[in-house]
Amino acid sequence: MSQVWQVSWAHPKFGHLLASCSFDHKVIVWKEVADGVWQQAYASPPSLHSASVNSCAWAPHELGLVLACGSSDGSLSFITCGADGSWGAQKVENAHLMGVTAVSWAPPQPPGSLVTPGSGAALVRRLCSAGCDNLVKLWSCGDGSRGWAMESELRGHVDWVRDCAWAPNLGMPRDTIASAGQDGRVYIWSHSDAGGWSSKLLLEGKAVVWRVSWSAFGNVLAVADGNDSVTLWKEAVDGQWAQVADADAPATA
């Protein structure tokens, strides 16, 4: 037995599948084969990761049954189930110096597809990762590519980046990523074709920020920090972010 760091549900179209990653270097996919009966559908081989696997996340269902994982050995892995039910894995070595702490998938719709319907653009395979090298990195895999390649590095944190989260955008023209760090900072990273990636410092506190999580529509960000608090943040129409609630505060009539 070992510490399990994260679990991730697959989309229901693939059945009842739950992935887990743990300190003992393992990634396991669990499948419910009968009501309340679970068994292993996949277990990573010892050669896949040589240190703690800290994060796992299923890809958007449009991209198929693909699980991304990040490990303290510095690598990313992509575990895929084929149409015949067989499992395989790709590995990206040296993704982050000293280790990967988090992974988050981009929306599969190309940016701008909502405002330019009928463009026929292919689905995108992109991912962001956070690491102990103080960086957020962006990765992509094109249709004609046999592997994943880094496309950008986002620099701003001055200590380990503990989490990253790519916001849902439903085809809007802008990509948005939130990142949280050991340095107590939360950044909002935005990308447009005209200006590339830019950052906005949302929060700078004295406590480590462990997790960031977007609402389903990508317009509210939850932030969990080392002060045992969760706060909610929202962007106004003028582009300014403001705290809208403290999730630990009691509700008022």
* Residue 70 included in any domain: no
* Residue 176 included in any domain: yes
Q: How many domains does the chain have?
A: 1
State the Cα–Cα distance between residues 38 and 51, nearest whole angstrom: 26
pLDDT surpassing 50 at residue 167: yes
46-62 residue pLDDT tens: 999 999 999 999 999 99
* Residue 227 included in any domain: yes
Q: Rounded to whole angstroms, what are the CA distances from 126 to 4, 58, 112, 147, 151?
A: 25, 12, 15, 12, 9
11-43 residue pLDDT tens: 999 999 999 999 999 999 999 999 999 999 999
**Contact indicator for 179, 187 with CB cutoff of 8 Å:** yes
SS3 call for 13: helix
* Residue 237 included in any domain: yes
Give the mean pLDDT of 144-163. Answer: 90
* Residue 32 included in any domain: no
Write out the residue range of the structural domain in which residue 175 sits.
113-125+154-253
pTM for the model stands at 0.91
CATH number of the domain where residue 230 is located: 2.130.10.10
* Residue 234 included in any domain: yes
Q: Which two tokens stand for residue 98?
A: 């000293």
